[in-house]
Amino acid sequence: MDKFLIRGGRRLQGEVTISGAKNAALPELCAALLSAEPVSLVNVPGLQDVRTTFKLLRNMGVAIEAGDDGRVTLDAGELTSREAPYELVKTMRASILVLGPLLARFGEARVSLPGGCGIGSRPVDQHIKGLQAMGADIVVEHGYIVAKAPRGLKGTSITTDMVTVTGTENLLMAATLAEGETILENAAQEPEVTDLAELLIKMGAKIEGHGTGCIRIQGVGRLHGVAPAQAHRVVPDRIESGTFLCAAAATGGNVTVRDTRAEHLSAVLDKLREAGVEIETGPDWIRARADGGRRLRAVSFRTSEYPAFPTDMQAQFMALDCIADGTAEVTETIFENRFMHVNELLRLGAKIEAVGHTAIVHGVQKLSGAIVMATDLRASASLVIAGLVADGETVVDRIYHLDRGYDQMEKKLRGIGADIERVK
Max Cα–Cα distance, the chain, nearest Å: 67
Residues in a beta bridge with 65 = 73
Q: Which stretch of DSSP H or E encloses residue 266?
A: helix 266-275
Report which DSSP code applies to 358: E
Cα(209)–Cα(186) distance, integer angstroms: 12
Which pLDDT tens digit goes with each residue over 375-397?
A: 999 999 999 999 999 999 999 99
Q: What is the pLDDT of residue 122?
A: 57
Average pLDDT (192-199) is 98
Average pLDDT (202-209) is 98
Residue type, 108: E
Q: Which of 30, 117, 246, 322 is catalytic?
A: 117
Share above pLDDT 70 across residues of the chain, in percent, rounded to a whole number: 98
Cα(302)–Cα(300) distance, integer angstroms: 7
Cα(261)–Cα(191) distance, integer angstroms: 10
Which pLDDT tens digit goes with each residue over 31-54?
A: 999 999 999 999 999 999 999 999
- Which residues lie closer than 8 Å to 308 by C-beta, 6 or more apart? 267, 302
SS3 content of the chain, % helix, strand, coil (to 5): 35, 25, 40
Cα 78 from chain centroid (whole Å): 29
Q: DSSP letters along 294-351, please?
A: SPPBP--EEB-STTSB-GGGHHHHHHHHHTSBSEEEEE--S-TT--THHHHHHHTT-E
Cα(417)–Cα(212) distance, integer angstroms: 40
Cα(203)–Cα(365) distance, integer angstroms: 54
Q: Is the pLDDT of residue 119 over 50?
A: no
Question: What's the Cα-to-Cα distance from 203 to each of 156, 276, 404, rounded to whole Å?
Answer: 22, 44, 28
Which pLDDT tens digit goes with each residue over 216-267?
A: 999 999 999 999 999 999 999 999 999 999 999 999 999 999 999 999 999 9
Which pLDDT tens digit goes with each residue over 274-303?
A: 999 999 999 999 999 998 889 999 999 999
* Burial (CB count <10 Å: 0-12, 13-18, 19+), residue 49: buried
> Is 322 annotated as catalytic?
no
Q: Specify the 3-state DSSP secondary structure of 174.
A: helix
What pLDDT band is residue 114 in, cutting at 50, 70 and 90? confident
Average pLDDT (388-411) is 96
User: Residue 263: how many CA atoms within 13 Å on its side-chain side?
Assistant: 7
Q: What is the pLDDT of residue 121?
A: 52
Query: Is residue 383 within 8 Å of residue 402, measured between CB atoms?
Result: no
Report which DSSP code applies to 95: G
Whether the bond into 236 is cis, omega within 30 of 0? no
Would you say the C-alpha torsion 19, 337, 172, 189 has a positive or negative sign? Answer: negative
Residue type, 371: I
What pLDDT band is residue 115 in, cutting at 50, 70 and 90? low
Q: Is the pLDDT of residue 337 over 80?
A: no
